[in-house]
Structure 1
Amino acid sequence: MTAEKSAPTGKGIAPTIASLFPGGLPMWLKAYDGSAAGDLDLPFGMEIVSERGLSYILTAPGDLGLARAYVAGDLVLHGVHPGDPYPAFSLLKDRTDFGLPGPLELVGVLRSLGLGHLIPPAPPPQEHLPAWRHRLEGLRALGKWGRHSHERDADAIRHHYDVSNAFYEHVLGPSMTYTCAVFPSDGATLEEAQEHKYDLICRKLDLQPGQRLLDVGCGWGGMVRHAARHYGVQVLGVTLSREQATWAQEEIKVQGLDDLAEVRHCDYRDVEERDFDAVSSIGLTEHIGIANYPAYFAFIRDRLKPQGRVLNHCITRHDNADRRTGAFIDRYVFPDGELAGSGTIVGAIEDAGLEVQHHENFRVHYARTLEGWCRNLVDNWDACVAETDEGTARVWGLYMAGSRIAFERNEIQLHHVLATRTDDGVSGYPLRHDFGV
């Protein structure tokens, strides 16, 4: 049942906007006209500091309008650092799905706030094109920019990953790893947990010296370097981000791994090499589109030797229902990103002719990983803003805090699925897995 909107308890912008929140606003609200709503003694509050902020909220009611106002600096969150708005956002999350009131109430709102605020301002520059604009561009380009085409996927990856390598160094830490860590103990640091994650994947893949590994969507090459350095395998990593590839290749040279490791700037679909002993996919499946799962896992199968292994590491939904990604995530964070339940992933892997051997959920680990990244963003806030801009840094704080809450509340999860290319019933897999904890 949807909670009732509360009636305004006073005149002015703040009481009117506060009344739109389902179940009431769980913090105080102030506005540039001097109005206020809620208990001002509460530790957290919001302030609409400009007419543009009000217009953002009214013309895109809910998460998108609030995010636009916040990213642009027209909506200020009080009581939290913009690098980690988790304490306040945990109160707001799932309570911002408001729309404008019914016809009679709308007349009162417009009389109070003015018709001029229903003219949409230009979105902040950090916002990516909405899906309908991409479809229009696709028609104009006769399919060149269709959903998950090579060109459009490259554009989406540039939007998110080519922010600045220095920015990512501040947020991610020395490992430059932008995927869920695996914490071996409660006291483990983020860096220790990222190292443990890579080692666990290597053990799940049963990597041996002299073997060949393909790492699709390799990012800054953390898995590539770990497998080459600690397991003596020949590794090819591929990424659509030129910035990532450049950084990764330089780091490979610094660590003296040129004879074993390569990171290539290309689409995974353009990899022609075959007969790999193993394939790792760490954080790529979220970007490829659910409709492309059959082709994606068939590609992986075709790149493996018989009895070769694949480890798919990706964010999943807590169920297998078909849902669209929220507007904020789609336009500011992961354009065209799609999530499915782990059952959908397993089914797609099996339908591609691979045999699933092991399946594991690391949901709680991702909440801890995001907490660490937000802490890094707070600690390096000035440097991050200087490297990009304040709006971009705000996007990251909001997105990571919101994602942390979603993992904590079991709205999304993180799954490893380990499978083999079983040939004539022979998988090469032991009677029981032996990769340890």
Structure 2
Amino acid sequence: MTTFRERVSDATSNPDGKFSLAEILEIFAAGRLPLRFTAYDGSSAGPDDAALGLDLRTPRGTTYLATAPGDLGLARAYVSGDLELRGVHPGDPHDLLAALAQKLVFKRPPARVLANIVRSIGIEHLKPIAPPPQEALPRWRRVAEGLRHSKTRDAEAIQHHYDVSNTFYEWVLGPSMTYTCACYPHPDASLEEAQENKYRLVFEKLRLKPGDRLLDVGCGWGGMVRHAARHGVKTTGVTLSKEQAAWAQRAIADEGLEDLAEVRHSDYRDVRESEFDAVSSIGLTEHIGVANYPAYFGFLRSKLRAGGLLLNHCITRHDNRHSATAGGFIDRYVFPDGELTGSGRIITEMQNSRLEVIHEENLRHHYALTLRDWCRNLVEHWDEAVAEVGLPTAKVWGLYMAASRVGFEQDSIQLHQVLAVKLDERGGDGGLPLRPWWTA
């Protein structure tokens, strides 16, 4: 039996020799595949007894992989059904993605080998083809929807992700309908306990009490709005998602909270009221755009009374050096126009907006647990989810949530809560305690 190096040597020394699809993958992986790979040309690679695997079923899948290397090509082939994952459920492919992230390192082969790979694949597979219909337009083609982070384009981006189906989200998110990182009071806590604990933590950090006024921007299905209203706080929430706003308004009515809670289908920039006692931004900053942080935090500051508190809760990079632009898969299939930066940049922009940052913490491990539980819910309701939104869309959600879990586990992304206060003209903070006043 010939070795990997011998097969590569034979094919590169013979100008007319060709690599099989499995050999091509082996070359890019330097012969170290952590799973089993099979292809429609009959070739295979990787351990025979591997529990996890990838099966390339069609020539179209090869075209997707060859014309969009990286996560975008893999996503296109998988969503379209041309690439199948073996050993995992499509609602939670975490174990396969974790194995790839931990053990698979792609290396660019020498020019002569690369030329032979191109001949082996065939020029017909190097011509881009239409992506799956679930994919959003590339950034440069979204100009018809307005400039990036204009009100019109932001509305389109939010609707792409959040207006999929309230029923679908109910199956994935559970009764809380909360689509942001939970805070687990202990490792064995349920998702619902953890989400309620997150709202409790935010409420306490903001020092809210009956009679106060809270503005919750990017309020989603109104979880924070209703939590605060149940505790006597007059709360206004805003969301760009029509479906979210309708669901939240029904939930407010069902709980009899109309006198204290309101959710508007609106851009946060259209909020006219001011002098709020507190502002919460839970999972919105990712959609704002880093260049817009000064205007964003300046606007939120303008909504606060002197001594009022702002809590910003968002996903971040693990450092402040990486590009803010999301990868191809996330940008095209999940969060169009989404951007992430490090917590240092967020704190800097809040300080530059004349907000005094008084506390911050990283909850990345909690988000890994949250995503684990969302994937469990998707697996449990897989048949209903597929019937509701279709197999390709259900696969997108399983793929993105499981991949995000891997990112939090391996510290490529984090989740930070940053608490700040609007000082008065003399630097007064409204008499805040000297040390944190909330229960961790």
Quick one: which of 93, 105, 129 aligns to 2:137?
129
User: Residues 68 and 267 from structure 1, CA distance in 2 versus in 1: closer, same or farther, beyond 3 angstroms?
Assistant: same
Pairing 1:37-436 to 2, within 5 Å after superposition: 37-93=45-101, 101-134=109-142, 137=143, 145-229=146-230, 231-323=231-323, 324-423=325-424, 424-428=426-430, 429-436=432-439
Secondary structure of residue in 2 paired with 1:259: coil
Quote the offset at 1:322 in angstroms: 3.5
Note the aligned Cα RMSD (angstroms).
Answer: 1.8
Provide, for residues 259-294 of structure 1, a one-character-per-residue CA deviation record: whole Å limited to 9, x for no partner.
110000010011111111110000000100010000
Cα distance in structure 1, aligned partners of 2:368 and 2:72: 23
Secondary structure of residue in 2 paired with 1:198: helix
8 A contact 1:214–1:279 mirrored in 2: yes
User: Residues 146 and 98 from structure 1, CA distance in 2 versus in 1: closer, same or farther, beyond 3 angstroms?
Assistant: farther
With 232-241 and 28-37 compared, the bigger mean Cα shift is at 28-37
Provide, for residues 108-132 of structure 1, a one-character-per-residue CA deviation record: whole Å limited to 9, x for no partner.
2243332211122210111111122
TM-score, reference length from structure 2: 0.93
Paired AA for residue 75 in structure 1: L
Cα distance in structure 2, aligned partners of 1:7 and 1:248: 63
Quote the offset at 1:185 in angstroms: 0.9
Paired AA for residue 40 in structure 2: Y
8 A contact 2:289–2:338 mirrored in 1: yes
Secondary structure of residue in 2 paired with 1:19: helix
8 A contact 1:93–1:402 mirrored in 2: no
8 A contact 2:32–2:46 mirrored in 1: no
Provide, for residues 291-314 of structure 1, a one-character-per-residue CA deviation record: whole Å limited to 9, x for no partner.
000000110110001111111101
Cα distance in structure 1, aligned partners of 2:338 and 2:30: 28
Cα distance in structure 1, aligned partners of 2:69 and 2:26: 12
Cα distance in structure 1, aligned partners of 2:140 and 2:6: 35
Cα distance in structure 2, aligned partners of 1:102 and 1:265: 55
Secondary structure of residue in 2 paired with 1:93: helix
User: Residues 362 and 63 from structure 1, CA distance in 2 versus in 1: closer, same or farther, beyond 3 angstroms?
Assistant: same
8 A contact 1:297–1:352 mirrored in 2: yes
Cα distance in structure 2, aligned partners of 1:284 and 1:22: 41
Paired AA for residue 86 in structure 1: H
Cα distance in structure 1, aligned partners of 2:176 and 2:204: 19
Quote the offset at 1:21 in angstroms: 3.1
User: Residues 305 and 118 from structure 1, CA distance in 2 versus in 1: closer, same or farther, beyond 3 angstroms?
Assistant: same
Provide, for residues 323-378 of structure 1, a one-character-per-residue CA deviation record: whole Å limited to 9, x for no partner.
13211111111111111111111111111111111111111100000000011111
Paired AA for residue 236 in structure 1: T
8 A contact 1:30–1:37 mirrored in 2: yes
Cα distance in structure 2, aligned partners of 1:55 and 1:95: 25
With 93-102 and 339-348 compared, the bigger mean Cα shift is at 93-102
Cα distance in structure 2, aligned partners of 1:80 and 1:123: 24
Paired AA for residue 426 in structure 1: G
Q: Name the % identity.
A: 60
Paired AA for residue 49 in structure 2: D
Question: Which residues of structure 1 form unaligned runs of 5+?
Answer: 139-143
8 A contact 1:61–1:100 mirrored in 2: no
Partner of 2:20: 12
Secondary structure of residue in 2 paired with 1:369: helix
Quote the offset at 1:7 in angstroms: 8.0
Partner of 1:24: 32
User: Residues 299 and 29 from structure 1, CA distance in 2 versus in 1: closer, same or farther, beyond 3 angstroms?
Assistant: same
Provide, for residues 385-437 of structure 1, a one-character-per-residue CA deviation record: whole Å limited to 9, x for no partner.
11101111111111111111111111111111111111022102112221122
